Amino acid sequence: MHLSGIPWQDDSGDRLREWTGLEPNEFYDPAKVALVPMGFCYPGKAAGGDAPPRPECAPRWHNLILELLPADRLTLLVGSYAQQYYLPKDAGKTLVDRVRGFDRFAPAIFPTPHPSWRSVGWRKRNPWFDADLLPALRAAIRNQLDRA
């Protein structure tokens, strides 16, 4: 992904597309999907993975970008950083709490774990993700795309 400059063009992207039910041609179609990162530059490595997004990025750029998107959009909050930034504080203290409570925000917002290699084990420990969230997410995406 870092070499190609194309976001989500790696194993994590394959996982995310599988979760959404989108083929690459749909996922990368800017008329259908907006990929808005929490940070707009690679923050570098940290212990256990990548460093967190730079704190000035989202407040500086997100509102400007989100104003350009349809108001009735479907939003995936991928990973803890996006969830902590956008979900209310009472949405849950842990990633499991926030993702498991997805129906509180669906069909407009779906919190998901980051689809890194760590999510493979996470999914095994949380089978409700595949059984409950993914079917609802895929149906919401199809509904959104069919309306567009």
Q: Domains plus CATH for the chain?
A: 8-23+76-148 (3.40.470.10)
Q: Report the pLDDT value the prediction gives residue 5, as an integer from 0 to 100.
A: 81
CA gap 142, 133 in Å, rounded:
14
Whether the ω angle into residue 107 lies within 30 degrees of 0, i.e. cis, is yes
Q: Tell me the pLDDT band of 2, cut-offs 50, 70 and 90.
A: low
Percentage of the residues of the chain whose pLDDT score is greater than 90 = 89
Cβ neighbours around 124 below 10 Å, total: 10
pTM (two decimals): 0.94
